[in-house]
Chain A
Amino acid sequence: MSVPAVRFTDERLANGLRLIIAEDHLAPVAAVNIWYAVGSKHEVPGKTGFAHLFEHVMFQGSAHVSKAEHIGIIQSVGGTMNGTTWLDRTNYFETVPSHQLELALWLEADRMGTLLDALSQENLDNQRDVVKNEKRWSYDNRPYGSWNERTLAGVFPSEHPYHHTAIGSMEDLDAASLEDVKAFFRTHYAPNNAVLSIVGDVDPTVVRGWVEQYFGGIPANPALPIDLGDLSLPLSLGGERREIVPDRVPLPRIYVAFRAPVYGDPRLDALDLAGQILAGGKGSRLHRRLVRDERLAQDVALFSLGLIGGASVTAGWVTARPGVDLGRLEALFWEELQRLATEPPSDDELARAKALTEADELESLQGVAERADRLSMYATLFDDPDLINRMLPRYLAVTPEAIRDACATVFREDNRFVLTYLPVDQAVDGEVAA
């Protein structure tokens, strides 16, 4: 099996917009994907959640597009679209029948160039309400819903921009003003802060003409990039941290999170494979031991969130079956992590983890949308879109010893944040003393 190489062109317009084009004529579809190098890490104190609220405003119209019309137009030509906000970036994307590509480009250009022409207090207030409901739905009204927030706060110091989540706080969302929207747009939403990737059934020469025509006149912001200062962090929390949360959950769950090497560090590749070996499906170590053999757990997970600013997060959880001794469960979970930190995995185990990684890569790169997203991602985060072709070989080259060493570096008691959710009745029974 081999994953087909993605061939692409990579160039910049005079205003700094990076343009990446990959042709693929298998299906009559085209994907457009823009990454802006702005995320929740750029938010200032008192304005958490703003980058994401701003992303919503990007769908509220621009000079030649009315409120919600962007989505209406894309859907009415048979396309799909969305936007997402993360700590390091914000992205916007459309997949359309290929003969509608020009329209998608025009829509993206109109909001990159003229968003503020359509900005109104009414639309901002409306999307503030929508986002507050998104926060309630995705976090506040869900069992274990605060783990994300608590984990980032536990792993990153309060002065670090990864200390808070992209969804932010209700109070800060309330504080967002039209002036904030204008300043944020003028600072970050400039062509020299964006990567535009186009993948699919397209003619690159024609595409270049359209991109020049629609985006070429949008001015660069010479003040970019914004310097966030030195975000580097020691690869240790400097001592174990623990938190116990009484919550309306029926089953206790223990989250364990660690500071991990930055995204792009080969040790994070090794940790991805470690996540596969430890918790990737029914053949993994944690699943076999805790779910299948000892039957102490309902489910397990372990994964890394790759971040470029100082440190990543490796996190996992185990959900306890009713009545299980949580001390023992946590000890066994930890024992499996320690085992991989002291002994390299077997050749067969690593070969299976790599085969699965390869299959996942093949599966995810099938669609044009994912390819466009990856090209934008690797260009934005690493200035290296060709990583789309080199990440898999990197994974396949990871040695058993590299996995052991990466685990030994990260899975340390003085680098772990342990967050335990207890059903409120158990907590009331006295298990929560502090």
Chain B
Amino acid sequence: MIGGRPVVLAERPSPGYPRPYAFPPFTRTSLANGLSVIAVDLPGRPLVDASLVIPGGAAEEAAALAGATVLMARALTEGTERYDAVALVEATERLGASLHAEAGWDAVTISIDVPAERLAPALDLMVEVAARPTFPADEVLRLRDERLNDLLQARADPGRRAEEAFIRAVYAPTSPYHRPAAGTRESVARLTAEIARAELARRFDPARMTLIVGGDLTGIDVAALAAQRFGAWRAHPDVTPIGSTDAAPASIERRVQVIHRPGDVQTEIRIGHPGAARRIREFHAVSVMSAILGGLFNSRLNRKLREEKGYTYGAAAGFDLRRAAGPFSARAAVATAVTVPAVQETLLELERIRDGLVEADELAAARDYLVGVFPLRFETPGAVVGALVGQVVQGLPDDELLRYRSSIEAVTRELVLAAARTHVRPSEAAIVLVGDADGFLPALEAAQLGPITLERDDPADHADAADAADAADAATS
């Protein structure tokens, strides 16, 4: 007490009345060539985001040419019929805009952020990049070499090394998810400008594309701007249909893969298996379950591994939801000495979420978080357009985001349990440990978590290490 008055009031304030919120309404029109145009007006948001979605991502590639789609997307801004790469950057900068082309597993996206009054010239640049790229051979070669160097860097970084080892351990070699979206050392080395050009051609069908524009669109006729620029596009004769994706597991037996890196002071842990596709009926229950298990700060995993044990700066688990079943993973970087107990605690939590109903307050915390944070996620045009891009890429209905909050609110403890039993399967998990095995191998063997495969990274000889990985890969396939 200070001067007879409490320093801070003990009584926790109760909330006021929430302002009603709905995901911003948008309009959808189609150009004569089938290109779909979504416009979402966000009054008071002068920075407009325009994104062109070209369906078909890295999952569509042949294994031998893995990385071709990512390389193609990067090469789109390396030169067009009107601009060389530097002139394109300069033209973009003069608009105060930023232009990006990128490829993921399921689509290629070309985006430009620009002040609303310069949307038209920004869309002109987008047209150049999407429809008139020249793929200069020499620049594509440079991008290819940069990716090969990046793979060297990735191998030296424990977190990236763990991701790479994890997907190899989780997916069968027949699955594209077995390899990084940007390709492997072997596949990237084969890539050329012609291959990049062909990757764009086989996707270039305006009837499959969607342009999404969000921001303060006062006085802007998005459909007309789009029709003038995109309306004459025709499908390329080489267009191929989008196939289904093989997401087969490498194994359904629990196994341990250790990447021994002498001198590491932490172990990067990844535990998981093929997870779920985005377009599943129980998506909302999976979201709530995943938040309880490893999404929230007070998730079961973070509470146990960080706040109780102090093993890690952060532990998490979640699903990478793609058109096919992307990985489910639990992950943490822990001090070497506690590697095995951290793995055991993680496995216990993966079992426990399947064993019984979550507590009512756990359900409430996760549900209330996902419902409450929804408006916070969509403060800016970039975030709104990004969410719509995701909706389009995943082939979800137009009211998906509008129904999100009520769908989350409808998730029950029983639905959480059912989602866990279907989608969290520790008995089928690959356990990947990247660290100094001298500090935990005896304990790991004693713990009998599954058959152990040991691979040693020699930082002094990267080429040999990569070859060894390739050999190991061949042996498992």
Q: What is A's interface to B at a CB cutoff of 8 Å? A: 1, 4, 26-29, 62-64, 67-68, 71-72, 75-80, 95-103, 106, 109-110, 112-114, 125-134, 136-138, 140-143, 201, 210, 213-214, 217-219, 248-251, 281-283, 288, 291-292, 295, 298, 321-322, 348, 351-353, 355-356, 358-359, 362-363, 366-368, 423-425, 428
| From B12, B77, B296, B311, residue with most partner A Cβ within 10 Å | B12
User: Per a CB cutoff under 8 Å, which of A112, A250, A281 touches B156?
Assistant: A250
Query: Can you list 5 A-B pairs, Cβ within 8 angstroms, ordered by A?
Result: A1-B96, A62-B8, A295-B145, A352-B90, A352-B93
Bound Cα distance A29, B86 (Å): 40
Closest to B303 in A: A68
Judging by beta carbons under 8 Å apart, are B373 and A321 in contact?
no
B440, CB-defined interface residue at 8 Å: no
Bound Cα distance A79, B373 (Å): 6
User: Per a CB cutoff under 8 Å, which of B10, B155, B376 touches A79?
Assistant: B376
By a CB distance below 8 angstroms, the chain B residues around A321 are: 145, 149
Given contacts A218-B7, A425-B461, A359 and B96 within 8 Å (CB-CB): yes
Q: Distance in Å from the Cβ of B336 to the closest Cβ of chain A?
A: 9
Judging by beta carbons under 8 Å apart, are A141 and B8 in contact?
no
Bound Cα distance A132, B265 (Å): 11
Judging by beta carbons under 8 Å apart, are B142 and A143 in contact?
no
User: Per a CB cutoff under 8 Å, which of A97, A126, A201 touches B310?
Assistant: A126
Judging by beta carbons under 8 Å apart, are B333 and A133 in contact?
yes
Given contacts A78-B374, A136-B266, A292 and B85 within 8 Å (CB-CB): yes
By a CB distance below 8 angstroms, the chain A residues around B264 are: 141
By a CB distance below 8 angstroms, the chain B residues around A295 are: 142, 145
| From A67, A98, A322, A366, residue with most partner B Cβ within 10 Å | A366
B364, CB-defined interface residue at 8 Å: yes
Judging by beta carbons under 8 Å apart, are B313 and A143 in contact?
no
Q: Distance in Å from the Cβ of B356 to the closest Cβ of chain A?
A: 21
Closest to A2 in B: B46
Bound Cα distance A428, B461 (Å): 12
Bound Cα distance A99, B15 (Å): 6
By a CB distance below 8 angstroms, the chain A residues around B13 are: 102-103, 106, 210
Contact with A along B91-132 (1 / 0, CB 8 A): 001111110000000000000011101100000000000000
User: Per a CB cutoff under 8 Å, which of A78, A100, A133 touches B371?
Assistant: A78
Judging by beta carbons under 8 Å apart, are A134 and B149 in contact?
no
Given contacts A26-B45, A77-B15, A251-B149, A133 and B373 within 8 Å (CB-CB): no
Q: Distance in Å from the Cβ of B129 to the closest Cβ of chain A?
A: 13
Judging by beta carbons under 8 Å apart, are A359 and B113 in contact?
yes
By a CB distance below 8 angstroms, the chain A residues around B158 are: 141-142
Judging by beta carbons under 8 Å apart, are A114 and B12 in contact?
no
By a CB distance below 8 angstroms, the chain B residues around A80 are: 373, 376
B375, CB-defined interface residue at 8 Å: yes
Judging by beta carbons under 8 Å apart, are A79 and B372 in contact?
yes
Judging by beta carbons under 8 Å apart, are A248 and B263 in contact?
yes
By a CB distance below 8 angstroms, the chain A residues around B462 are: 250
Q: Distance in Å from the Cβ of B136 to the closest Cβ of chain A?
A: 11
User: Per a CB cutoff under 8 Å, which of B89, B113, B153, B157 touches A282?
Assistant: B89
A141-B266, A251-B152 given; 8 more Cβ-contact pairs under 8 Å: A78-B374, A101-B16, A102-B16, A130-B312, A298-B149, A355-B94, A356-B93, A423-B460
User: Per a CB cutoff under 8 Å, which of B18, B142, B307 touches A67?
Assistant: B307
User: Per a CB cutoff under 8 Å, which of B86, B335, B368, B459 touches A424?
Assistant: B459
Judging by beta carbons under 8 Å apart, are B98 and A359 in contact?
yes
Judging by beta carbons under 8 Å apart, are A1 and B379 in contact?
no
Given contacts A78-B369, A99-B16, A136-B265, A125 and B310 within 8 Å (CB-CB): yes
Q: Distance in Å from the Cβ of A191 to the closest Cβ of chain B?
A: 11
Q: Distance in Å from the Cβ of A143 to the closest Cβ of chain B?
A: 5
User: Per a CB cutoff under 8 Å, which of B43, B117, B266 touches A133?
Assistant: B266
| From B3, B298, B364, residue with most partner A Cβ within 10 Å | B298
Judging by beta carbons under 8 Å apart, are B375 and A28 in contact?
yes
By a CB distance below 8 angstroms, the chain A residues around B312 are: 130, 133, 137
Judging by beta carbons under 8 Å apart, are A133 and B334 in contact?
yes
Closest to B434 in A: A141
Contact with A along B1-24 (1 / 0, CB 8 A): 011011111101101111101000
Judging by beta carbons under 8 Å apart, are B335 and A136 in contact?
yes
Given contacts A29-B376, A250-B153, A359-B115, A98 and B19 within 8 Å (CB-CB): yes
Pairs of residues from A and B, 8 with the lowest C-beta to C-beta distance, nearest first:
A78-B372, A129-B310, A283-B89, A28-B19, A250-B152, A113-B8, A99-B16, A1-B115
Q: Distance in Å from the Cβ of B221 to the closest Cβ of chain A?
A: 20
B413, CB-defined interface residue at 8 Å: no
Total number of B residues with any Cβ neighbor in A under 8 Å: 89
B407, CB-defined interface residue at 8 Å: no
By a CB distance below 8 angstroms, the chain A residues around B373 are: 75, 78-80
By a CB distance below 8 angstroms, the chain A residues around B461 are: 425
Judging by beta carbons under 8 Å apart, are B93 and A97 in contact?
no
Q: Distance in Å from the Cβ of B148 to the closest Cβ of chain A?
A: 9
By a CB distance below 8 angstroms, the chain A residues around B94 are: 351-352, 355
User: Per a CB cutoff under 8 Å, which of B3, B95, B310 touches A355?
Assistant: B95
By a CB distance below 8 angstroms, the chain A residues around B145 are: 295, 321
User: Per a CB cutoff under 8 Å, which of A218, A359, A367 touches B8?
Assistant: A218
Judging by beta carbons under 8 Å apart, are A103 and B265 in contact?
no
Judging by beta carbons under 8 Å apart, are B95 and A322 in contact?
no
Judging by beta carbons under 8 Å apart, are B298 and A68 in contact?
yes
Which B362-397 residues have a C-beta within 8 angstroms of A? Answer: 364-365, 368-376, 378-382
Judging by beta carbons under 8 Å apart, are B313 and A137 in contact?
yes
Closest to A365 in B: B47
Given contacts A99-B19, A213-B9, A78 and B93 within 8 Å (CB-CB): no
Bound Cα distance A195, B310 (Å): 32
Judging by beta carbons under 8 Å apart, are A248 and B459 in contact?
yes
By a CB distance below 8 angstroms, the chain B residues around A102 are: 13, 15-16
Given contacts A80-B373, A356-B96, A283 and B263 within 8 Å (CB-CB): no
Judging by beta carbons under 8 Å apart, are B376 and A214 in contact?
no
Q: Distance in Å from the Cβ of A136 to the closest Cβ of chain B?
A: 5
B146, CB-defined interface residue at 8 Å: yes
Bound Cα distance A130, B312 (Å): 6
Closest to A288 in B: B86
Judging by beta carbons under 8 Å apart, are B375 and A113 in contact?
no
Q: Distance in Å from the Cβ of B382 to the closest Cβ of chain A?
A: 8
Judging by beta carbons under 8 Å apart, are B17 and A99 in contact?
yes
By a CB distance below 8 angstroms, the chain B residues around A366 are: 45, 47, 379-381
Given contacts A75-B296, A355-B94, A143 and B8 within 8 Å (CB-CB): no
By a CB distance below 8 angstroms, the chain A residues around B96 are: 1, 355-356, 358-359, 362
Bound Cα distance A68, B296 (Å): 12
Q: Distance in Å from the Cβ of A302 to the closest Cβ of chain B?
A: 17
Closest to B87 in A: A283
Judging by beta carbons under 8 Å apart, are A143 and B303 in contact?
no
Judging by beta carbons under 8 Å apart, are A71 and B44 in contact?
no
Bound Cα distance A4, B261 (Å): 52
Closest to A104 in B: B13
Which B226-275 residues have a C-beta within 8 angstroms of A? Answer: 261, 263-266
Bound Cα distance A163, B104 (Å): 42
Q: Distance in Å from the Cβ of A109 to the closest Cβ of chain B?
A: 5
By a CB distance below 8 angstroms, the chain B residues around A292 are: 85-86, 139, 142
| From A201, A348, A423, residue with most partner B Cβ within 10 Å | A423
Given contacts A75-B365, A78-B376, A133 and B16 within 8 Å (CB-CB): no
Bound Cα distance A93, B90 (Å): 37
By a CB distance below 8 angstroms, the chain A residues around B298 are: 68, 71-72, 75
By a CB distance below 8 angstroms, the chain B residues around A143 are: 153, 156-157
Q: Distance in Å from the Cβ of A5 to the closest Cβ of chain B?
A: 13
By a CB distance below 8 angstroms, the chain A residues around B95 are: 355
By a CB distance below 8 angstroms, the chain B residues around A98 are: 16, 19
Judging by beta carbons under 8 Å apart, are A76 and B364 in contact?
yes
Bound Cα distance A288, B90 (Å): 12
B308, CB-defined interface residue at 8 Å: yes
Closest to B291 in A: A75
